[in-house]
Amino acid sequence: MWAIKMRGQKLVVLGIISAMVLSGIFFVIPIETSGSSGTTLYVGGSGPGNYSSIQSAIDNSNDGDTIYVYGGTYIENIVIDKKIRLIGEDRNDTIIDGGGQSDTVYISSSNVIVKNFTITRSASSAAGVDIEKSTEDNVVWYCTIKNCKIYHNYDGILCYSWGDAVYHNFIDNYISENLEDGIDLVSGDNIIRGNTIVGNGEKGIRIFGGDDNRVEYNFISNNRGDFRDGGIYLEHTSRTEICYNYIGCNPDYGIYLTESSASIHHNNILDNGDNARDNYYNYWDDGSEGNYWGDYNGNDGNGDGIGETPYNILGGYAQDRYPLVEPVEDAPRPPNESPNTPSQPSGSSSGYTGTSYSYSTSATDPDGDQVKYYFDWGDGTGTWTNLVNSGQSASKSHSWNNAGTYNVKVKAQDENGAESGWSTAKGVTITVYTPPPPPPNQSPTCSLSSNLTSGYVPLNITFSMGASDTDGSIASWKLDIDNDGIAEYSGSGAPPSTKQHTYQNTGTYTAKLTVTDNDGATDTDATIITVSEKPNQPPIAGFIYAPESPVKINTILNFTDDSTDSDGSIVNWTWNFGDGTISYGSEVNHTYLNSGKYNVTLTVTDNDGASDDYTITITVEKEKGTPGFEFAILIMAIAGLMAFGKRRNTERWLK
């Protein structure tokens, strides 16, 4: 999104310089020196002759000296009335605390540089830094406040020199949470550059009655006043240049101008209560490019990055004639905020040496950045997690080699490198691990079953076998199929799932499976198999004879046995022909002397005495005589009857 650079940059710079020359405006940034041959005095630290307070060092300094202040908190209200350089070791750790008494830093001399401090806790109606002339004729010029953190004062920086051109510089400061204004100027020809001005109670920057000030490259956000307050407020000022600033999220106004003239361009102005109000007529562009407005909804028809319609400013007739459709790249972006402090690590509060334990935590990041976590294990070691989404839990594991109590804490770092503070530590008590004696060996288990439990010789059996061991492995197996103490089948490892065996003799057999595990424990399972002789199956009688039909008296019939015996042999054949005669043998002949129906029964007996019979009914017919004599008699009888009948008919006719 932050993609637009200033087009026609050289022309714009030349235009600005030309305008400055024509109007007599010059912004002077003095070199950071108040003297080229002064000495250095030290405050804090452990060096011999170091001062214990900043004011005592100032009182003993001369124009052109440098006072270097080591890190620490100095509760005092200092007055700088000499041309000196006051340099802190680090702005986060070198703190001037006004203790709620008067101005925290009061400057009444020109050519003063204050750098690298936290300046806090002025009195009510006072300022963190107050730059004022001490007498009506004492104009204070060319002071620089740089890289300071100025917060929890009434005003952050106050510069009061009505009508004077003082050429002060306020550069790269972090000015926040002051009760009223972040910077309050009643003077001209100042430069406010590169500051972060956030969260102040009324205005981020207020300029009243001063001319030719320049406000550039600042981040101005969330300044919370609700009456003509907000980001930047100008009243009774002339020729103020406001450019390349981020002015956003101020609840009232982003920029408010009343009875003031200014040139305002190349700012990112968005998400304010009202982005801008101008009760005068000012230029809200530089003649070719204006500002980026978060609520501008015009179109860029020709793709040059400039909206086709102006952006109207509240309050009068002012317009941004050339509104930008994308944010200005060179303006500052919202600062990256550190993640919130992670939760106390969760996990075991006690354990044993050499055993790994897992701990987890989570934190949110105000910017929604991904975060990673650093676990300090309390034993001189630590571990980073991978990046995870804001608010997502992350875990790491650790083991301790020595007994003791360890404080485990964690901090978060976002993807831009900003770190949180340390979490609340979790105490973990580690003792030497003494392993308990191993549990007694658990015996293996096995199972044995068969597809049949009884049958006739020869009996084919399929044994199903299984075995397991909960705390080891099966080392060997053996299968004794008749419980005589001698294993017919055996092997190493677990038994196969099936084994086949054929019992050739009758009897009752106990088959037993025995398995042994790797520690020598055993288990057995058994099944009983009953093998019997198969009972004798009786024969099945049957026979055939020939000829079958017709059967005549005195015909010789041949009878042949067709019986079967599935488990033995037939040893006797008894034939009863139904005419009172009996014959023996597997094949016999018989002749019937008289016609009639005869039941022929074959009874067979096998080698185990079982018998069966089979019966067939045979019809025997008489033998027929010669047809000539009987036929002749019949013809003669018929002829006689016919002759007798004819004679009777003739007699009737004659009568």
360 by DSSP, 3-state: which? strand
pLDDT of residue 140: 85
Question: Which CATH number does the domain 350-431 belong to among 2.60.120.10, 3.90.870.30, 2.60.120.260, 2.60.40.10?
Answer: 2.60.40.10
Cα 429 from Cα 405, distance rounded (Å)? 4
Tokens matching residue 195: 């500051």
pLDDT of residue 553: 92
pLDDT of residue 210: 85
pLDDT of residue 23: 36
Instruction: Say which residue, 133 or 378, is predicted with more confidence.
Output: 378
Residue 634 has pLDDT above 70, yes or no: no
Cα 164 from Cα 161, distance rounded (Å)? 6
- Residue among 325, 333, 330, 298 nearest 312 (CA): 298
pLDDT of residue 32: 46
The string of pLDDT tens digits covering residues 466-484 is: 999 999 999 999 999 998 9
CB neighbour class for 652 (10 Å; exposed up to 12, middle 13-18, buried from 19): exposed
Output the CATH code of domain 9-320: 2.160.20.10
Residue 118 has pLDDT above 80, yes or no: yes
Tell whether pTM > 0.85.
no
Residue 226 has pLDDT above 90, yes or no: no
Task: Find the range with the poorest average confidence among 329-338, 545-554, 568-577.
Answer: 329-338
Residue 629 has pLDDT above 90, yes or no: no
| One-letter identity of residue 204 | G
Residues with Cβ within 8 Å of 560's Cβ and at least 6 positions away in sequence, in order, are 543, 544, 545, 586, 587
Q: Which residue carries 């053996």 as its tokens? A: 478
Distances (CA, A) of 270 to 39, 294, 322, 333: 48, 4, 16, 12
Tokens matching residue 404: 């003791």
pLDDT of residue 16: 33
Residue 251 has pLDDT above 60, yes or no: yes
Task: Name the pLDDT band for 173 (thresholds 50, 70, 90).
Answer: very high
Q: Which residue carries 């070691």 as its tokens? A: 381
Q: In what order do the strands lie in the sheet with 596-606?
A: 551-552, 611-621, 596-606, 570-576, 582-584
The string of pLDDT tens digits covering residues 268-277 is: 999 999 999 9
The string of pLDDT tens digits covering residues 186-222 is: 888 899 999 999 999 999 999 998 889 999 999 999 9
pLDDT of residue 336: 78
Instruction: Say which residue, 645 or 268, is predicted with more confidence.
Output: 268
Strand bridging mode 459-468 / 311-312: unpaired
pLDDT of residue 147: 95
246 by DSSP, 3-state: which? strand
Side-chain half-sphere of 648: how many Cα atoms within 13 Å?
6
Task: Find the mean pLDDT for residues 564-590.
Answer: 94
Cα 104 from Cα 96, distance rounded (Å)? 7
Average pLDDT, the chain: 88
Residue 9 has pLDDT above 60, yes or no: no
Residue 489 has pLDDT above 50, yes or no: yes
pLDDT of residue 163: 59
Residue 116 has pLDDT above 90, yes or no: yes
Tokens matching residue 310: 């102006």
Residue 22 has pLDDT above 50, yes or no: no
pLDDT of residue 640: 62
Task: Name the pLDDT band for 27 (thresholds 50, 70, 90).
Answer: very low
Residues of the chain with CATH 2.160.20.10: 9-320
Tokens matching residue 43: 């405050």
Task: Name the pLDDT band for 136 (thresholds 50, 70, 90).
Answer: low
pLDDT of residue 548: 83
pLDDT of residue 648: 52
Q: Which residue carries 């270097």 as its tokens? A: 68
Residue 242 has pLDDT above 90, yes or no: yes
Radius of gyration of the chain (CA): 62
DSSP secondary structure string for all residues of 467-523: EE-TTS-EEEEEEESSSSS--SEEEESSPPSEEEEEE-S-EEEEEEEEEEETTS-EE
Residues with Cβ within 8 Å of 94's Cβ and at least 6 positions away in sequence, in order, are 69, 70, 71, 72, 74, 88, 116, 117, 118
Residue 515 has pLDDT above 90, yes or no: yes
pLDDT of residue 7: 30
pLDDT of residue 285: 94
pLDDT of residue 262: 94
pLDDT of residue 164: 62
Task: Find the mean pLDDT for residues 223-229.
Answer: 77
What backbone phi and psi angles, to 5 degrees, belong to 497? -70, -30
Task: Find the mean pLDDT for residues 238-248.
Answer: 95
The string of pLDDT tens digits covering residues 34-76 is: 444 689 999 999 888 999 999 999 999 999 999 999 999 999 9
Cα 616 from Cα 544, distance rounded (Å)? 9
Say which CATH architecture domain 536-650 belongs to.
Sandwich (2.60)
Residues of the chain with CATH 2.60.40.10: 350-431, 445-532, 536-650
**Fold that domain 445-532 belongs to in CATH:** Immunoglobulin-like (2.60.40)
With a pLDDT cut of 70, the percent of the chain lying above it is 88
